[in-house]
Structure 1
Amino acid sequence: MINNSYRSRSFVLTHHHSHNRWMFISVIFLGGIILSLLLAFVAFGSDFGDLQEQSSSLKLVIILHRHGDRTPTQTYENDPYKDEQKYWPLGWGQLTMVGEKQLFELGKIFRKRYKSFISRFSVKSVRVMSSDIDRTLMSAEALLAGMFPPEEDQIWNKELLWQPIPVHTVPRNYDKTISLKAPCPKYELEKKRILKEIKQNETVEDKQFFKYVSLHAGQNVDSIREIETLYTCLFIEELNGLILPVWTETVYPKEMREKAALSMSTYAWNTVMKRLHGGPFINEILDYLKNKSRGRLQDKKLFLYSGHDITMVVMWRTLGFNEFILPAYGASLIWELHHLGNDHYVKMFYQNNTKEREPYELQIPNCLNPCPLDKLFAITEEVRPTDWDAECKIDSTDY
């Protein structure tokens, strides 16, 4: 007769001496790991994806985005598509309907991400700035339409679920933060020096490349700046479904893209250029972060900047990121101020394009993640001008 007490033994003890014991132990071990991961996800889920905005630690958001899809600002001599009336009826450098939709979608992405932090528009909580050019102004408006559709008492026209939101700008020749067109003689001198240095270091292959492109473009193309312009033109034409000339197949997109990315990076190549070109913007956003952390700007929750690819690249490099990038339409840099414990921290994100539903978090160079606000001030000190106008002046030591 079989002892019933033996039957009642646990499953583990019953199989302790069986040939399957190691398999069983492995299953139990893996199950424990999976259970731990699930518990961790539940415990820390508020730090992931869509839930991040629900964190009570979030105090301020600053967003810099590039405008949407546009027409070319210029073409080249042998361009088969340079007839403005036929191919670009909107005019040169104008936001397209595709671009409008891109930024509207970007606004919806930000609305979803920050809905519990800032659910509706108010002039007290939101300030929007743009460079003084059609495509960035229109991009800002399209983004705002997606991010802040009117709700309840904000609905002033039931046939149009849209509300007017102020977008601020300054003339381009005074703009040292977004369009970066404010005159700075010392910066221009340094930029010319760097471009000359790059030109002097060209290889035989580089010279052959420029000669080939010049021959087929029908104009002299002998610098990475001119390649950048040409690459952008071809890129836009390709996006619009136009068949590129056969001669481009050996140089576009790879080689031209590499040189275009190099060209963009030279706008903030060294510390002097970062300080004079990117420094004013860094000073501005750090002032917002500092004032918010000290109890000022109590009502402000969002600062939004509508800019260009060059704005994005200059900020990227000024903060110490060295990777060469060519920001897509609608690409965005995001700064979030969080109050954790007794201190304030900054998290930084990059939205690569308007198709991605979530930005990915960046590791700010030379800082922890998240980055203590005081540390962010310290690591950016050498690229923040104390008197921009004075530092832009040229003296005898600059030659």
Structure 2
Amino acid sequence: MSVIKVIFLILLIINTSTYASFAQTVHDEETLQLVIVLHRHGTRTPTYFYKNDPYQDVKKYWPVGLGQITNKGKMELYNVGKLLQEKYKRFIPSYSINSVRVNSSDMDRCHMSAAALLAGMFPPEGDQIWNNQLIWQPIPIHSLPVTKDTMLATLAPCPNYWLEREKVLSKLALVPDPEAEKLSKYISKYAGQVITATNLPDFYTTLLIEERSGYTLPDWTKPIYPDKLKERAEFYGTTYTWNRILKRFFSGPLIKELLHQFKEKSEGCIKDMKLFLYSAHDLTLINTFRGLEFKDFIFPDFGAFIIFELHRSNNKYFVKMFYSHSAEIVPYELEIPNCAKPCPLDKLLNITEAIRTVDWSTECFE
């Protein structure tokens, strides 16, 4: 047998084993009470170009428009939906407006990603089929205007948040960082504009999208892309939730919402609910990880998703957490920091109390 065949067999066994470990066990099916899925949208077109970018002709290279989900992105989320359907086919056998609630950031790419996921997870069956030539059913997707969204888009006005973040960035700017300075100087030389630390995440994402779209990156990017740029983009992503104050404003609202759903379910207030789905952005997932005090920073790829499961065993409630770094990776279980695996709901409520605001708007403006 050739070496290539041996490697393929090993990968197949590993992948099959991973799927098996992610599959819902009989015990889990008996204890499972509620599922919450938080995902990043699928692969999109760029939202940012540097001055000398060879691919900034939108009509030529990005005909669907800027910041829009691509066909690849749609397929990514459709496949996530199929994976979720397989895992939860007994717990949520079909879509019902009484058991499924879908929320999305009010961005086209997030709405379309949610719709693609739902198409994969809930193909119509029986009397849900309304068109024999289209095995798909419309499912409501709810959202708030981005200027009022504190949880998913995180663009609702909060002056005290931005004042605190400016303090953090000012302090960080005083710390010598020769590597970052060298990187910014190198990029600025070729980009045709000054590239600062705040530009690096967008610059990195643009290169990532262009490469994955089949476009050849300029030769000068080879010494810095992807590793050096990704490292700086990841670091900058942490500055949004650098300290407890920032986490309270940026991570707290969504974590508060998720735990509220679990608490409501445990108290019998939402007996019929089985699934809450949230379609959002990379920063939304980052904020969630940071708010839960994960130390190993995880920079989510397109289509990445987190699953929270609420279980009941011996009249006590526990939370399990799973993560997939991208739409193409089977989720694996995480251990929530400062908590056991699975994490008792009461303990999770306790360890997140410091970042869950009582009145977010008042704290933002007072």
Structure-2-length-normalised TM-score: 0.92
Q: Give the RMSD, CA atoms, in angstroms.
A: 1.2
Question: Aligned equivalents of 2:180 and 2:40: distance in 1?
Answer: 30
Question: Aligned equivalents of 1:157 and 1:81: distance in 2?
Answer: 41
Question: Aligned equivalents of 1:341 and 1:212: distance in 2?
Answer: 60
In the alignment, is residue 353 of structure 1 matched against residue 326 of structure 2? Answer: yes
- Contact 1:52 1:113 survives alignment (8 Å): no
1:341 counterpart letter in structure 2: N
Question: Aligned equivalents of 1:179 and 1:135: distance in 2?
Answer: 12
Q: Tell me which residue corresponds to 2:343.
A: 371
Question: Aligned equivalents of 1:206 and 1:99: distance in 2?
Answer: 31
Q: Which residue among 333, 336, 359 is the counterpart of 1:387? A: 359
Q: Tell me which residue corresponds to 1:109.
A: 83
Shift of 1:136: 0.2
In the alignment, is residue 190 of structure 1 matched against residue 190 of structure 2? Answer: no
Question: Aligned equivalents of 1:202 and 1:89: distance in 2?
Answer: 42
SS of the aligned residue for 1:56 comes to helix
In the alignment, is residue 203 of structure 1 matched against residue 189 of structure 2? Answer: no
Question: Aligned equivalents of 1:390 and 1:132: distance in 2?
Answer: 24
Q: Tell me which residue corresponds to 1:290.
A: 263
Cα pair distance change 1:238/1:216, threshold 3 Å:
same
SS of the aligned residue for 2:299 comes to coil
Percent identical pairs in the alignment equals 49
Q: Tell me which residue corresponds to 2:94.
A: 120
Larger of the two Rg values belongs to structure: 1
Question: Aligned equivalents of 2:182 and 2:301: distance in 1?
Answer: 29
What count of residue pairs does the alignment treat as equivalent? 346
SS of the aligned residue for 2:24 comes to helix
Structure-1-length-normalised TM-score: 0.85
Q: Tell me which residue corresponds to 2:66.
A: 92
- Contact 1:194 1:266 survives alignment (8 Å): yes
Q: Which residue among 216, 226, 238 is the counterpart of 2:190? A: 216
Q: Tell me which residue corresponds to 1:264.
A: 237
Q: Tell me which residue corresponds to 2:305.
A: 332
Shift of 1:52: 3.2
> 1:34-73 counterparts in 2 under 5 A?
48-52=21-25, 55-73=29-47
Taking CA–CA contacts closer than 8 Å with sequence separation of 6 or more, which of the two structures ends up with the larger relative contact order? Answer: 2
Shift of 1:82: 0.7
In the alignment, is residue 276 of structure 1 matched against residue 249 of structure 2? Answer: yes
- Contact 1:64 1:307 survives alignment (8 Å): yes
Q: Residue deviations 1:107-162, cap 9 Å, x none?
A: 00000010000010000000000000100000000000000000011111110000
Q: Residue deviations 1:318-344, cap 9 Å, x none?
A: 011122222011111111000011200
Shift of 1:206: 2.5
1:281 counterpart letter in structure 2: L
Q: Residue deviations 1:333-372, cap 9 Å, x none?
A: 111000011200001110222222x310010000011111
- Contact 2:24 2:88 survives alignment (8 Å): no
Question: Aligned equivalents of 1:349 and 1:381: distance in 2?
Answer: 22
